[in-house]
Amino acid sequence: MNVALIAHDNKKPTIINFAIAYKHVLQKHKLFATGTTGKKIMEETGLSIHRFQSGPLGGDQQIGAMIANNEMDMVIFFRDPLTAQPHEPDVSALIRLCDVHQIPLATNLSSAEIFIHGLKQGVMDWRQVLKERRDKGK
């Protein structure tokens, strides 16, 4: 599964701790992240992560393009709801794309933990079935 990891500045410590706690699950999947978040997670966990630009420089949009092309299976995005973000339109677009394309989106630690346990148990395997059906139709 392709999993995106994103966090606003005030939530970076939370996503790093999440990645440390669930490294045993995450390492079995292909990980993507916005620039700084990915760098910090890699430094703390040793996980292999494809890094895009930072969010304000277009990283959210790069992940959004993967979603639009059915190349992303899950997004874990620890948002800071109490701080205004200069790239809020990009954040809104990313969330909208997840809704349009039926991509599971966790925006806080509680939902991310539920998703990661589902990922571990194979609950997300339906995404692979959709991809295979799409590929047969080409």
pLDDT digits (tens, 9 = 90+) for 11-62: 999 999 999 999 999 999 999 999 999 999 999 999 999 999 988 888 999 9
pLDDT at 32: 98
Number of domain units in the chain = 1
- Given 60, 80, 90, 99, the catalytic residue: 60
Which residue, among 127, 119, 72, has the nearest Cα to 94 in the 3D structure? 72
Q: Which residue has the tokens 């997840």?
A: 98
For residue 64, being part of any structural domain is answered with: yes
Asked if residue 48 lies in contact with residue 29, where contact means CB atoms within 8 angstroms, the answer is: no
Give the 3-state secondary structure of residue 116: helix
Residue 56: inside a domain, yes or no? yes
Q: What is the mean pLDDT of residues 58-86?
A: 90
Residue 91 pLDDT greater than 90, yes or no: no
99 catalytic per annotation = no
What domain range is 66 assigned to? Answer: 1-7+34-79+94-106
- In the predicted model, is pLDDT for residue 138 greater than 70? no
Residue 75 forms part of a structural domain = yes
Q: pTM for this one?
A: 0.91
